[in-house]
Homo-oligomer: A and B are copies of this chain.
């Protein structure tokens, strides 16, 4: 155990072959003969050789890592997605770098600076709120195929994306509430300008129309996915003279805030009003009452995103690739919804 790290040279010397052969043995085992493969493997073990990634990255012009950009590291919604991404990447020997879009802004760096030859080969963005012109610079630099959006996306850009069936999930939610007997259904939306917010709101309106349900403008309550916005929405609901009997929230956090605030004012869910969320985050099942929600498989979102991005990185000229994956959602019925009394 010397304190110095062994290099390819050392391995080559021990195995009595050239560095070229060692390198080939390691990265293309099929092109060398059985005997040298064994000898080199032995030498690697003996020297305790570990590859110097900087050298390889320099030579191959690959960073062997992927950057994930999130709006907010502290948001638990993303963690499972990260788990999925990381799982996929690490089995390919790639690493996952993390940065938050907030930091990108604060540090004044341009997004493209992160697509350094060595920092990252590609990037997965989980924030649809990015400036269009920031993204423009990526498209201009024809780096578009090294960038992929997951969950959210930005309209008018050409980046591939992974998302869930927002429309279908919303339809399922409204239909379910309708089947329970609800006729007056409200919707608490995500933040203004967010693509998911629009996607779900539009689908909500469409489905209400399809079911020929009345839809007062005030039943669309503006929110922003957060617990706090849910609380505010609850106050709005309480203040209504003609209250909806069911509320479909655009996120679980909204639904939880909504229910929490209601409960503080003496209302009970689902007795006084049925409440649904979207996402089915871990906590949804443990909440009181357990939340009826639309489930997104976040692990799969992450794995699919990594899969798609890597496919593009590996074959930069592949036009045959799907440019969008839409993953299924499912209705999870729990205790926060019931027939109207």
Contact = CB atoms under 8 A, between A and B. Distances in A.
Interface string A106-149: 01000001001111000000000000000000001110000000
A19 B287 CA distance: 61
A28 interface: no
Identical subunits present: 2
A150 interface: no
Contacts of A103: 86-87, 90
Contact of A54 (B57, B98, B113, B256): B57
Contacts of A260: 286-288
A65 B263 contact: no
A138 to B, nearest CB: 13
A97 B94 CA distance: 11
Interface in A288-326: 288
Nearest to A80: B74
A53 interface: yes
A209 interface: no
A83 interface: yes
A117 B82 contact: no
A73 B264 CA distance: 33
A254 to B, nearest CB: 11
B99 A90 contact: yes
B113 A50 contact: yes
A98 B86 contact: yes
A1 interface: yes
A52 B117 contact: yes
Given A97-B96, A97-B97, A263-B288, A53 B117 contact: yes
Given A79-B79, A288-B260, A74 B227 contact: no
Given A52-B58, A73-B80, 12 more contacts: A5-B117, A50-B113, A53-B63, A54-B63, A54-B117, A58-B58, A73-B79, A73-B82, A76-B79, A91-B107, A95-B119, A97-B97
B73 A86 contact: yes
